[in-house]
Amino acid sequence: MFNIRTDLAVESREIYKEAYKEEVPGVDIETEESENYTITRVTINNEEGEKKLGKARGTYINIDVPGLKNTDQELKDEISKVFAKELKSICKNDENTKTLIVGLGNWNITPDALGPKVVDKVLVTRQFFVAYNKERDETVANVSAISPGVMGLTGIETGEIVKGVVEKIKPDLVIAIDSLASRRMERVSTVIQISNTGINPGSGIGNKRIGLTEEYLKVPVIAVGVPTVVDAATMVNDTMDLIISSMKKQAKVGTDFYSLLDDISKEEKYSLIKEVLEPFMPNVVVTPKEIDILIEDLSIIIANGLNMALHHGIGLEDVNKYIR
Amino acid sequence: MFNIRTDLAVESREIYKEAYKEEVPGVDIETEESENYTITRVTINNEEGEKKLGKARGTYINIDVPGLKNTDQELKDEISKVFAKELKSICKNDENTKTLIVGLGNWNITPDALGPKVVDKVLVTRQFFVAYNKERDETVANVSAISPGVMGLTGIETGEIVKGVVEKIKPDLVIAIDSLASRRMERVSTVIQISNTGINPGSGIGNKRIGLTEEYLKVPVIAVGVPTVVDAATMVNDTMDLIISSMKKQAKVGTDFYSLLDDISKEEKYSLIKEVLEPFMPNVVVTPKEIDILIEDLSIIIANGLNMALHHGIGLEDVNKYIR
Amino acid sequence: MFNIRTDLAVESREIYKEAYKEEVPGVDIETEESENYTITRVTINNEEGEKKLGKARGTYINIDVPGLKNTDQELKDEISKVFAKELKSICKNDENTKTLIVGLGNWNITPDALGPKVVDKVLVTRQFFVAYNKERDETVANVSAISPGVMGLTGIETGEIVKGVVEKIKPDLVIAIDSLASRRMERVSTVIQISNTGINPGSGIGNKRIGLTEEYLKVPVIAVGVPTVVDAATMVNDTMDLIISSMKKQAKVGTDFYSLLDDISKEEKYSLIKEVLEPFMPNVVVTPKEIDILIEDLSIIIANGLNMALHHGIGLEDVNKYIR
Amino acid sequence: MFNIRTDLAVESREIYKEAYKEEVPGVDIETEESENYTITRVTINNEEGEKKLGKARGTYINIDVPGLKNTDQELKDEISKVFAKELKSICKNDENTKTLIVGLGNWNITPDALGPKVVDKVLVTRQFFVAYNKERDETVANVSAISPGVMGLTGIETGEIVKGVVEKIKPDLVIAIDSLASRRMERVSTVIQISNTGINPGSGIGNKRIGLTEEYLKVPVIAVGVPTVVDAATMVNDTMDLIISSMKKQAKVGTDFYSLLDDISKEEKYSLIKEVLEPFMPNVVVTPKEIDILIEDLSIIIANGLNMALHHGIGLEDVNKYIR
């Protein structure tokens, strides 16, 4: 996919459509619009779809909330509930499901700290099931949570730590929370992606080499992510495209120019940008300066949604009640 | 041991001596004094010693540094080196030893965050051994580190997480860092204890129920701890003893009084205090208000010492060079 | 008042009553009990009351909420509202009142960081009044806020910084938020005190030497405080009293003992404790280990209450809506 | 200056030279190269220089340290010393100088928190001069420090707070520390700028409207800043220029193309980018994801340098000794 760095399936599809002017074959799209948000469900059905989008087969739900950067408590609560509903639909969990929440990322690097921050806020209950030696409870399900850290801090692949814990505590379901990279700055902290494909090597900010997938962990893995960074080269690339198309529309320059720009293929252009930027900023990913506040808000929205989706006794009306 | 809450072997011995006016049987004591610190090595040799001190058999090294609360960089560097030397003597590690550092405690509760803070600062190298598929290196040994969190945050016993990871990555040695409880406020953040007994259930601040011991993990476990809290009841109890002995010396009250006080046994007095305090502060442990700063300083001292003790290419002259 | 360190008027009164077995002359007490909290209003009417209680003339409102340590969101919201109502009754502010909120304390020392944390969360509006050059607004009043820091960090008396700012921006009202010392651990983080006396030298944790009073700043000063620390000597002293009274009741010791204990006056006993403790812990104040979490929760409750009390367009139903 | 957002005088000069292929008139440049760093002194002598560079008359010292992002303790210590020497040369302070350090910026937004972090670490002494009522000391000078916060948190212009404090404590010199915007990502956290012009409205990240200048405060103001963010539009613009010049060199496209690109003036191109980006990211400034760690390191380097430059009894050999 032209090496454009994105962890969002909707962006992969967007890039494909921009390039080929057609919908991606082997992929179903479903859109649901509301006043404050749009839900897009991208389902990759077969190998062709996998190859075209460069993403694993499965369903990717994107909740896109342009206004999420603002401090509107009602909107936040609304999105917690929407997220809870979508998560529950994809997890297919019930009161007997034992869930392990995994907060991926580095707690010392703010844009990478979403996962650990969610783990710190979510309601965990497994210890009571163990202490009272019971299998089920009237109001809560069996939920545990870990923040394994990143390889740079631990010296250990995140996947190995999670697998070690999964083998010990044997959950029925793993939900992994991660910070993602997007191609566009306006998507940073405004999109929540939920997918049933797990987390694949190289995705997220932390460049994992072992994935967190059902194949590896032997339990279903749901991935929840929010873009918190943009790859600088991607940002420059996309802006140049916008500029060229803007110049075309405004006919600010002669006609020869267009044909010349069309001569440079997309791949060529992107690698040119990479080459030029490399000496100055090797693999720079950038983040908005308000990221501390954005991550704090997002971690509450997601922890809230997890509480409502996982525990049968916690309803949508209980938003904010069980946040630590 | 009269239920007085302490994780320090030197304090258990102190309490024994106060009560029985004799050295503890089955226990060897060795003391080494320097200008800025005193090292006490307590070795519990047999079952009698274990029972008398309420601590597992093994060696407990205490580095006592009364001036450690001050901001004297030279003293801190000196103690990093002393700690590195003592740690190396007890670990018996060499350049082939694969070490897993475990930072116990809750990163959200400052006095309990020593372990996780050390993990964030220590130099980890295992990822390079894995990436280059090599067994040894000229300058560094194979070191990894995790902060498993506490059961209240994860829903999982710390011991289970550590065991899961140990089974996956198979280290030769585990070094567990923990925050401890002391009986005396003046020992908070001024004593470093190293022991080859591992960490036993109920020790430290976080009330673990599964220990981190060689028996459980199947590899040697070295425990490193620093007192960061004092149990309120213990503090009151000890102060009362000081007052009584002070009153005796000063003969401020009549002679009948002494005999009366002697009538109340130590056990009786402590349980009386517990009973009286319970309704007001159940299991309150207290900490100095500057604890944020003390923990930050201690984590640097300990991470420094670990770097020098574990890596054969990092000498005592390299203090502060490899701190993250 | 026997040098027992407390910043709470209700505790000064309690100490007086314990000592003299009578209500304090020159002082009015009014109590209002609810299911979850008790409000006590202590009004010191004259010089006699001032001397007996060692506190400045004025009204001290104490909202005592034993359950505030728990994570019950509904209780927190209720207390935000109760606090807003009491604060409004003592501030007598209206939509034209220009208020400066002053967050006292050291942001690097958790138990002293309540004031700065409230300032970070409260809604400030003065900049809009200045930008649009208007005197009043339909929904919000003119509110500004500063965290002056402590002398140890700034080298400047807090009072001087506040006075410099007050002279520049000329507010009608100053509300100072501070961390307080209590005599009892069970009051830490469960009592909110509001008073119209300002903040006097030596009160709070940070040992101010210049007070923040109407006399000094030339505008009315409302003080809001919550105990976050206990003086160790005070804690020991009070526990000993509890023990003695418990021993009396249980008649565990002979009758001579009582008379002996009665011989030691309260003053004598407290200074004996101070003397004994001094070498080990000079001026130690202690705090519960969960203080990080308690301060975070309290700062939200107080910022919420300030928002509702100061802005005429923010009602009690808007709790949590304008927290940053 | 083509609206390109930069707070660095060396970058303004660079932009001028790129556009006009000549040295800026009315401006002196002096360069000093060392193994690890380059010092550039830009002196704007007259009104012409002011206009050409869009910066106030005065001297701007830039210490450029490409390797500063790495964790090399020796390099950090070296740069602390270089910074101390340059700062002293521009401050012309002596043992009688009373200095007020002002840490500008928002402590809750990491890339804007450099100033407050320096204030938290620097050695302040004014309180001792006041307490002992003395005018001079053998080892330290009279230094105080404040973090006034930003208008979004306080509702008060930073300049007003600082002026209020300056009028109260009457320092001889103000040193203001601020986070800056650069045009290039590779300069973020690798350049320290010192200038004797004070801080002008609109500079730094926080968009101040009142400047901190000698004219306003009535005492000399030295500004110290480090770039921590890059304006996204500027980054795109510069990258496009790099690409065009790279394309020219490689002759990848036909000759007509160059002339076309040359037809679009620099101003036109920048405003085109702004226009195109605006709907997607209005005024977005971006920062590297490791910014938390970079800011921590920089604050230590600068606080160290301030300690050595301001106190006559603290020499270059005392680096790291008086950091809090």
Tell me how many helices (H) and strands (E) chain D has.
12, 9
| Residue B254 banded pLDDT, cuts 50, 70, 90 | very low
Residues of chain B in contact with residue A144, where contact means CB-CB under 8 angstroms, are: 154-156
Distances (CA, A) of D147 to A292, C160, D112, D116: 19, 14, 12, 5
Residue with tokens 């110290």: D224
Q: Which residue has the higher pLDDT, C16 or B263?
A: C16
What amino acid occupies position A313? G
Asked whether the predicted pLDDT for residue D159 surpasses 80, the reply is yes
pLDDT at residue C263, as a whole number: 56
Q: Which of B323, B322, B320, B306 is nearest to B85 (CA)?
A: B306
Rounded to a whole number of angstroms, the distance from the CA of C65 to the nearest CA of chain D is 29
Q: What is residue B54's predicted lDDT score, i.e. its pLDDT? A: 87
Partner chains of A (3+ C-beta pairs under 8 Å): B, C, D
With beta carbons under 8 A apart, name residues in chain C contacting D145.
153-155
DSSP D194: E
Residue C88 lies in a domain: yes
Rounded distance between C-alpha atoms, residue C301 and residue C84, angstroms: 10
Place of tokens 């301030």: D306
Distances (CA, A) of A116 to A101, A174, A177, D210: 10, 15, 8, 40
Contact B212, B102 (CB under 8 A): yes
Query: Worst-scoring range by mean pLDDT, B7-11, C18-22, C58-62, D21-25?
Result: C18-22
Check residue B281 and report its DSSP letter.
-
Contact C156 D163 (CB under 8 A): no
d(C-alpha C64, C-alpha C37), whole Å: 5
Q: Name C193's Cβ contacts closer than 8 Å, sequence gap at least 6.
A: C7, C8, C9, C10, C60, C61, C62, C63, C180, C223, C224, C225, C226
Checking if the pLDDT of A255 tops 60, the result is no
Q: Is D44 a domain residue?
A: yes
**What is the SS3 assignment for D150?**
coil
Give CA–CA dist A158/A175, Å, rounded. Answer: 14
Mean per-residue pLDDT, B247-252: 60
How many CB pairs below 8 A link B and C?
Answer: 126
Closest chain A residue to B151, measured at CA: A127
- Which one of D11, D117, D205, D235 makes the best mutation probe of the A interface by having the most chain A beta carbons within 10 Å? D235
> Cβ neighbours of residue A260 under 8 Å, at least 6 residues apart?
D253, D254, D256, D257, D260
Domain CATH number, residue C306: 3.40.50.1450
Does pLDDT of B315 surpass 70? yes
Q: Average the pLDDT over each of B184-198, B268-282, C253-267 and give the range with the smallest value.
A: C253-267
pLDDT value of residue C115: 97
**Does residue C268 fall inside a structural domain?**
no
How is residue C183 annotated by DSSP? S
- B308-B309-B312-B316 Cα dihedral, nearest 10 degrees: 40
How confident is the model over A80-133, as pLDDT tens digits? 999 999 999 999 999 999 999 999 999 988 999 999 999 999 999 999 999 999
pLDDT, tens digit (0-9, with 9 covering 90-100), for A173-227: 999 999 998 888 889 999 999 999 999 876 776 666 788 999 999 999 999 999 9
pLDDT at residue A277, as a whole number: 64
Sequence-distant (≥ 6) Cβ neighbours of residue C194 within 8 angstroms: C60, C61, C63, C83, C86, C87, C90, C222, C223, C224
Average pLDDT over residues D180-207: 85
* Range 72-91 of A in CB contact (< 8 A) with C: 73-74
Q: How far is B282 from chain C (nearest CA, A)?
A: 9
pLDDT of residue C290: 83
Phi, psi angle pair for C81, to nearest 5°: -70, -45
Task: With CB atoms and an 8 Å threshold, state whether C242 touches B288.
Answer: no
D107 contacts C155? CB cut-off 8 A? no
Q: Which of D205, D284, D290 sits opposite A185 (nearest CB)?
A: D284
Q: Are C192 and D180 in contact (CB under 8 A)?
A: no
- Does residue C211 have a pLDDT over 60? yes
- Least CB-CB distance to D260: which of A232, A256, A276? A256
Q: How confident is the model at residue C254 (pLDDT cuts 50, 70, 90)?
A: very low
Nearest C-alpha neighbor of C234 from the set B46, D302, A5, B239? B239
The closest alpha carbon to D226, from D188, D262, D199, D266, belongs to D188
Strand partners, C244: none
In angstroms, rounded to a whole number, what is the distance separating the alpha carbons of residues C102 and C89?
A: 19
pLDDT band at C264 (very low <50, low <70, confident <90, very high): low
Of B71, B73, B324, which has the smallest distance from its Cβ to D71's Cβ? B324
C320/A71 CB distance under 8 A: no
Cβ <8 Å between B108 and C293 = yes
Distance in angstroms (rounded) separating the CA atoms of residues A22 and D177: 53
Confidence of residue C180 (pLDDT cuts 50, 70, 90): very high
Asked if the structure places residue D254 within a domain, the reply is no
Chain D residues touching residue A254 (CB < 8 angstroms): 260
- How many angstroms separate the CA atoms of A304 and A84, rounded? 8
Higher pLDDT, D323 or A254: D323
pLDDT at B270: 66
The answer to whether residue C321 scores a pLDDT higher than 60 is: yes
Does B3 map to a domain? Answer: no
Query: Whole-number mean pLDDT of chain C?
Result: 86
Residue predicted with more confidence, B206 or B78: B78
Predicted confidence band of residue A154 (pLDDT cuts 50, 70, 90): very high
Model-level ipTM above the cut of 0.90: no
Structure-block tokens of residue D204? 């730094």
Kindly list the residues from chain B whose CB atom is less than 8 angstroms away from the CB atom of residue D324.
71
Question: Poorest-confidence range of A56-60, A133-137, A279-283?
Answer: A279-283
Closest among A213, A228, A124, A210 to A176, alpha carbons compared: A213
Quote the percentage of chain A above a pLDDT of 70. Answer: 83
C20 by DSSP, 3-state: which? helix
Query: Residue D166 — very low, low, confident or very high, per pLDDT cuts 50/70/90?
Result: very high
Residue type, C158: T
Instruction: Output the six-digit token pair for A173.
Output: 């379901």
Q: Residue A72 falls within a domain, yes or no?
A: yes
Yes or no: say if B86 and B34 are a contact pair by the CB < 8 Å rule: no
Q: What is the mean pLDDT of residues A302-322?
A: 90
From the number of C-beta atoms within 10 Å of its C-beta (0-12, 13-18, 19+), residue C250 rates as exposed
Predicted local distance difference test score (pLDDT) of residue D2: 45
Q: Which of A146, B235, A307, A324 has its CA nearest to residue C294? A: A324
Q: What is the pLDDT of residues C108-131, one digit of tens each?
A: 888 999 999 999 999 999 999 999
Q: What is the pLDDT of residues B93-134, one digit of tens each?
A: 999 999 999 999 999 889 999 999 999 999 999 999 999 999
What confidence score (pLDDT) does residue D233 get? 75
Asked if residue C226 has pLDDT above 50, the reply is yes
% of chain C beyond a pLDDT of 70:
83
User: Which is it for the CA torsion C100, C104, C110, C111, positive or negative?
Assistant: negative
- Is residue D256 pLDDT above 60, yes or no? no
Give the global pTM: 0.85
| Domains contained in chain C, number | 1
Range of the domain at B297: 9-233+284-323
Please tell me whether residue B324 adopts helix, strand or coil conformation. Answer: coil
Whether residue A307 lies inside any domain: the answer is yes
Q: How confident is residue A274, by pLDDT bands cut at 50, 70 and 90?
A: low
Q: Cβ–Cβ of D165/C160 closer than 8 Å? A: yes
Residue A254: pLDDT band with limits 50, 70, 90: very low
Does C302 score more than 60 pLDDT? yes
**Closest A-chain CA to D262:** A253
Model confidence at B255: pLDDT above 60: no
Nearest CA among A65, A78, A76 for reference residue A39: A65
> How far is C240 from B237, CA to CA, in rounded Å?
9
Of these ranges, C285-294, D188-197, D277-286, the one predicted with the greatest mean pLDDT is D188-197
Q: What is the mean pLDDT of chain B?
A: 86
Measure the CA–CA gap between A199 and D290, rounded to whole angstroms.
23
Contact assignment for B272 to C246 by CB distance below 8 Å: yes
The pLDDT value recorded for residue C1 is: 40
Residue type, D114: L
Please determine, for residue B253, whether its predicted confidence score (pLDDT) is greater than 60.
no
Residue D248 lies in a domain: no
Once rounded to an integer, what is the mean pLDDT over residues C241-246? 68
At B213 the pLDDT is 95
The predicted structure's pLDDT at residue B184: 83
Q: Is the pLDDT of residue D204 over 60?
A: yes
Reported as a single tens digit per residue, the pLDDT across C27-66 is 999 999 999 999 999 999 999 999 988 889 999 999 999 9
pLDDT score of D112 more than 50: yes
